[in-house]
Amino acid sequence: MIVHAKFSALGESRWYEYLVRFVLGGLTTVVAGVVADLYGPQMGGLFLAFPAIFYASATLIEKHERQRKKERGVAGQRRGTDAAALDASGAALGGIGLAAFALAVWLLAPEYGLASLVIGSIAWILVSVTGWRLHQEIRHSR
Amino acid sequence: MDYVVRFVAGGLIVSAFAILGDVLRPKSFAGLFAAAPSIALATLTMATYKEGSAYVSIEGRSMILGAIALSLYCVVVCQLLMRFRFSAVTATGSSLVLWLVMALGFKQILIG
């Protein structure tokens, strides 16, 4: 399956949906900071992987898919749920990549400081994409 | 002031990854971006300047456990959607408790 960009998808989102994600992202970042300030970095670190963003994106994906089907005069409940499930399967693999990011930060931050975040980001994308490719190949070989 | 900067930085980075997730296809690939290190990049960049690298390293160690909990949470949500036909709001919302229990449980068992 070829990865590509579909820029017309940006038109499906309303302005307030972007605002909701901005506010949700900002609030989650503040909450992670408050938890770290109150209970220390061990507890705060957990909340850096809090699934608030996934919650918003899966809900929006389901809604957009349902709307698209409705415009074509087809009941889209099932397709909407399937689209959200596909997003969840990708996010599960992305979560493993996120663990690779965190591992890089844990091991490299004391020596490399900010550069460990760059290395961690590279680790995240490499592990996530490799996991996704492997998952696709296993699915298609069945 | 510190929290205002956090809010804006977190909101911007999360929005950037969300837009990437919106335009990329197939949807399973776009899903990778729902687990992007967006909140971590905003928080850890600020923590590096404010608290130092040792503090950031400790947060990174705990984040590994949070990320594993996130991955398992997404598997559960996927099953609730596919097998039990839950709506996305119900599946993702009800499973948040599960993420919290797993993340805190892993931390308690492995870090203390």
pLDDT per residue as tens digits for the range B28-82: 899 999 999 999 999 999 999 999 999 999 999 999 999 999 999 999 999 999 9
| Chain B environment of A98 (Cβ under 8 Å) | 35-37, 40, 63, 67, 70-71
> For residue A2, what are its two tokens?
């070829």
Inter-chain CB proximity A102 and B32 less than 8 Å: no
Chain A closest CA to B105's CA: distance in Å? 11
* A22 C-beta neighbours (distance < 10 Å), count: 18
Instruction: Considering only the beta carbons, identify the residue of A7, A48, A128 that sits closest to B40.
Output: A48
Q: Please say if the pLDDT value at position A12 is more than 80.
A: no
- What is the pLDDT confidence band of residue B1, given thresholds at 50, 70 and 90? confident
Chain A closest CA to B59's CA: distance in Å? 4
| Chain B environment of A103 (Cβ under 8 Å) | 60, 64
Inter-chain CB proximity A36 and B22 less than 8 Å: no
Of the two residues A8 and A96, the one the predictor is more confident about is A96
Chain B closest CA to A16's CA: distance in Å? 12
Question: What pLDDT does residue A15 have?
Answer: 84
**Neighbouring residues of A111: CB distance < 8 A, sequence distance ≥ 6:** B53
Chain B closest CA to A15's CA: distance in Å? 12
Q: Go through A58-69 and write b for each residue having 16 or more CB atoms within 10 A of its CB, e for each that does not.
A: bbbbbbbbbeeb
SS3 assignment, position B24? strand
Please compute the mean of the pLDDT values over residues A124-128 and round it to a whole number: 97
Q: How far apart are CA B103 and CA A92, in angstroms?
A: 15
Could you tell me the pTM of the whole model? 0.94
Inter-chain CB proximity A97 and B9 less than 8 Å: no
> For residue A72, what are its two tokens?
């074509």
Question: What pLDDT does residue A9 have?
Answer: 80
Q: How far apart are CA B104 and CA B112, in angstroms?
A: 10
DSSP A74: S
User: What are the pLDDT digits (tens) for B27-43?
Assistant: 889 999 999 999 999 99
- Cα nearest neighbour of B20 on chain A: A5
> For residue B74, what are its two tokens?
């997404």
